Amino acid sequence: MKPFKFTLEQVLHLKEGLKKQLAGEVYGLEQQEAQVQKRLEKLSNEWRQESDALSREASSLLSAEYRLRATYLDYLNQQIEDERQRLMEISRHLAIKREKLLQYAREQKILEKIREKKRIEFHKAEKKREQKQIDELSTLRYQRDIGESIHSQNDSDGLP
């Protein structure tokens, strides 16, 4: 019996490779997202602490020191806004990559189902072909045995 060969095997392997590569990209983006969220949390906490401290100490600060600390709060606000924008961008890219990953997984699953269906069809056809060969051999053997039987019967009757 000849071995089963799936004609789309290379496509299936390509999809598997693309899926693995994309999974790596998703993992990298998830790591970036976690880092940005951590920085955002840190900056937000720092802003809250500085803002609370400035509110408590506002009456006792000199004007220049107050402006300096207010400027620092503005700087922290800008950093927080930048990190939020970065987080939104990463989240958008992550959503796109995850959707592609799901698409590749669906395509891979479809190809695997097709491969299994083709494998079953192949084995059925092979069994049918083998059965046909067996039937033909049986028919030939039967015809040979009948021919020998008739020939031996003719020999015993004395017919040529």
Q: Domain for residue 21, yes or no?
A: yes
Q: Domain for residue 88, yes or no?
A: yes
Domain with 92 in it? 13-113
Q: Domain for residue 54, yes or no?
A: yes
- Asked if 152 contacts 40 with a C-beta cutoff of 8 angstroms, the reply is no
Helix 9-57 and helix 63-157, axial crossing angle in degrees, nearest 10: 160
Q: How confident is the model at residue 36 (pLDDT cuts 50, 70, 90)?
A: very high
Q: Domain for residue 7, yes or no?
A: no
Please write the tens of the pLDDT for every residue from 86-144: 999 999 999 999 999 999 999 999 999 999 999 999 999 999 999 999 999 989 888 88
For residue 160, pLDDT over 60 is answered with: no
> What's the total number of domains in the chain?
1
Q: Which helix (H) or strand (E) holds 62?
A: none
Q: Domain for residue 101, yes or no?
A: yes
Entry pTM: 0.69
